[in-house]
Amino acid sequence: MSILAYIRSLAPSFKKNAILESVELTSHGLREQTVPALIAAGSYFTQHPLASKDALDLVAVYQKRLGQVEGNVVVDIANALENSLAILAHIGKESKSIYAETEANIALTYVKATYLRIIECAEFAGAYAQAFVNQLLILESTSLDSHTKLGNQLAPAEIKWLDENFLNFLSALGVLKKSVPEIAAAIKGMPDAAITEMTETTFPSTVGVAKTDPFNMRQLSAAVNPFYLIGMMRADSQAKAYKAKKAEVELLELRLLYLQRLQDKNPDARLQKEIDHMASRVSNLKYDFDKLKKEYAA
């Protein structure tokens, strides 16, 4: 998605407070829920390396795009998301001075739009990471339990979303792995100009794409667009998003426990039923939230 198409996809106007609130909410979710759950799963996979073919195929794509990882892919994701907390803190601080109290989408500069895209990278990567690690846990369970199948553990819409957004996820992680000084240096080198049809036509040859899009975020699709900038944050949307993410972390923890018991050759039918119930709840919560997003975006 071009940067011009991106800003046109945003709400016509939005408040600085909405940006600051998004930084705060995204940071809280990563720090309190996503990162701790991924660290626990990463610890398990350090002791029991991924073995299923489907999981290893995903890891191969991950490493081809982002390079070899130290430890395992889940630890690498957790480290990237932990690093994103420092990036978000930096953006939160900068946002207080660079954004007006009310911003119009068509007047955004390259710097302002880039900060928004980095926030959305963190928000999206956190949500995708939870679903992705759940997927890995299911795939590993299939190699130890013939009754566990990806198709009966994830709804078709969830599988489709994971497949369609895997490369978006890797692109987002590529940004979130950068240090704050790297982010700041790249931002400093960007043109202080509003994004228009004219700048998008002339800047690639006069300024260079490396200056207008230093993190190569044009390749991110509209699916990554942050909800708070499409329909604005409202109490009901925040509540639905929080419930869905919290439930998915709980599901991840249950699946990790179940996999550990399978590894110990001690399968737990009661735990599997609890997982089935929670998986259904997560699917329903995601469906409700997606429906709300579509209503606001219409």
* Per-residue confidence band for 225, with pLDDT thresholds at 50, 70 and 90: low
Q: What is the chain's length?
A: 298
Q: Which of 91, 45, 34, 90 is nearest to 69 (CA)?
A: 45
Q: Which residue is it, tokens 């029991």?
A: 48
Is the pLDDT reported for residue 12 higher than 60?
A: yes
- pTM for the whole thing? 0.92
Residue 286 lies in a domain: no
Q: Is residue 194 part of a domain?
A: yes
- How many domains are contained in the chain? 1
Residue 213 banded pLDDT, cuts 50, 70, 90 = very high
- Report whether pLDDT(237) > 70: no
pLDDT value of position 226: 54
Q: Which of 150-154, 224-228, 240-244 has the lowest mean pLDDT?
A: 224-228
Give me the chain's average pLDDT, please: 89
Confidence of residue 286 (pLDDT cuts 50, 70, 90): confident
- In a domain, residue 256? The reply is no
Distances (CA, A) of 45 to 61, 273, 293: 18, 24, 35
Domain presence at residue 158? yes
Distances (CA, A) of 61 to 74, 119, 127, 135, 157: 14, 24, 19, 15, 22
Whether 232 has a pLDDT exceeding 50, the answer reads no
Alpha helices in 143-268 (DSSP H): 156-176, 180-188, 197-203, 209-212, 227-230, 235-263
What's the pLDDT score for residue 223? 63
The secondary structure element, H or E, covering residue 14 is strand 13-15
Q: How many CB atoms lie within 10 A of CB 100?
A: 10
- pLDDT grade for 295, boundaries at 50, 70 and 90: low
Q: Which residues constitute the domain of residue 168? A: 3-232
Q: What is the pLDDT of residue 238?
A: 67
Characterise 251 by phi-psi region: left (phi > 0), alpha (psi -120 to 50), beta (else).
alpha
Is there a domain that residue 287 lies in?
Answer: no
What dihedral do alpha carbons 127, 130, 132, 137 form, nearest 10°? -170
Mean pLDDT of 191-204: 95
Q: Indicate whether 270 belongs to any domain.
A: no
Residue 124, domain member (yes or no): yes
Give yes or no for residue 293 having a pLDDT over 70: no
Check residue 240 and give its pLDDT: 74
Task: Return the ∠ at Cα 133 (arms to 70 and 292), rounded to 5°.
Answer: 135
pLDDT band at 231 (very low <50, low <70, confident <90, very high): very low
| Cβ proximity of 45 and 58 under 8 Å | no
Which pLDDT score, from 0 to 100, does residue 228 have?
Answer: 47
In this predicted structure, the answer to whether residue 244 has a pLDDT above a threshold of 90 is no
Nearest to 96 by CA among 112, 107, 109: 112
Q: Is residue 254 part of a domain?
A: no
Instruction: Please state whether beta strands 13-15 and 102-104 pair in parallel, antiparallel, or not at all (unpaired).
Output: antiparallel
